């Protein structure tokens, strides 16, 4: 999806003939692939819901999948990753917030330069599922300014808890549904692939996400 696909400045809810209903609400659609849909959950009440996909949406030839039950909750944090490894341990999509360089082990991806993080570095980690923000930004709407999350947050890196002063920002980034977590890496984090866990409103991200730290 590109800017030309926006509808009244918003992410479309019908794209390439496909639409998705979460409960009865249409979901903004970012991409349509043969075996994958990238969507944003619309504004629905937490609890039991359903997801239904329709092809040739809104036409006489419309085809609908069964409505599959899902659970919706206020927050369900998870990081985006540079790669998905077979062992389930995945490097977080992260930048050095000062230099703009990718954070990771050298050679992590072909054609890109990666540098491990060091204690004291300011980092930006990209994620989804952080929940409501202030100001509130409706699903599908492109954020135009910072919008911090409203629920309590805590972060650990390599098992060390960050202080409130080391959690600089947790909120929306420049794209709908894309959150960023800005932190300062605390002293004492050991070298290696260190797990990062963010907990929002009592819900924690998977413990399999990591950043690479060097001394």
Cα separation, 130 vs 207, in Å, equals 16
Taking the domains of the chain in order of start, what are their residue ranges? 3-72, 78-213
CB 145 within 8 A of CB 133: no
Which residues are CB-contacts of 8 (< 8 A; sequence separation ≥ 6)?
none
End-to-end alpha carbon distance in the chain: 40
Angle at 210 between CA 209 and CA 215, to 5 degrees: 170
Q: What is the pLDDT of residue 7?
A: 87
Phi, psi for residue 5 in degrees, rounded to 5: -90, -10
Q: What is the pLDDT of residue 1?
A: 63
Read off the tokens for 157. 């890196």
Give 71-93 pLDDT, tens digit per residue.
999 999 999 999 999 999 999 99
Instruction: Give the burial string for 36-51 (b: 16+ CB within 10 Å, else e).
Output: ebebbbbebeeeebeb
Mean residue pLDDT across the chain: 95
Query: Whole-prediction pTM value?
Result: 0.91
Give 152-162 pLDDT, tens digit per residue.
999 999 999 99
What is the DSSP secondary structure assignment for residue 5, as one 8-state letter? Answer: G
Does the domain formed by 3-72 have CATH 1.20.140? no
Q: How confident is the model at residue 9 (pLDDT cuts 50, 70, 90)?
A: confident
Q: What is the pLDDT of residue 19?
A: 96
Give 85-120 pLDDT, tens digit per residue.
999 999 999 999 999 999 999 999 999 999 999 999
- The 3-state DSSP class for residue 193 equals strand
Distances (CA, A) of 94 to 23, 28, 81, 101, 105: 33, 25, 8, 9, 12
- The 3-state DSSP class for residue 165 equals helix
Cα separation, 105 vs 98, in Å, equals 18
- Portion of the chain with pLDDT greater than 90, in percent: 92
Cα separation, 79 vs 138, in Å, equals 21
Give 114-152 pLDDT, tens digit per residue.
999 999 999 999 999 999 999 999 999 999 899 999 999
Read off the tokens for 212. 């690479």
Read off the tokens for 109. 């991806």
């Amino acid at each position: 999806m590109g800017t030309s696909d926006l509808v009244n400045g918003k992410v479309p809810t019908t794209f390439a003939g496909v639409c998705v209903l979460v409960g009865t609400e249409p979901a903004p659609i970012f991409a349509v692939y043969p075996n994958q849909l990238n969507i944003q959950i619309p504004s629905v009440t937490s609890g039991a819901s359903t997801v239904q996909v329709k092809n040739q949406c809104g036409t006489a030839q419309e085809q609908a999948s069964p409505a599959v039950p899902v659970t919706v909750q206020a927050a369900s944090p998870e990081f985006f990753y540079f790669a998905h490894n077979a062992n389930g341990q995945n490097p977080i999509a992260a930048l050095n917030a000062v230099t703009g360089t990718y954070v990771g082990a050298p050679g992590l991806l072909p054609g890109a330069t990666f540098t491990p993080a060091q204690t004291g570095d300011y980092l930006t980690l990209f994620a989804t599922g952080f929940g409501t923000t202030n100001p509130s930004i409706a699903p599908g709407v492109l954020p135009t300014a910072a919008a911090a999350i409203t629920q309590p947050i805590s972060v650990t890196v390599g098992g060390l808890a960050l202080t409130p002063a080391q959690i600089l920002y947790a909120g929306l980034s420049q794209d709908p549904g894309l959150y960023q977590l800005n932190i300062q890496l605390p002293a004492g984090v050991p070298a290696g692939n260190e797990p990062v866990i963010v907990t929002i409103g009592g819900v924690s991200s998977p413990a399999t996400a990591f950043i690479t730290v060097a001394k």
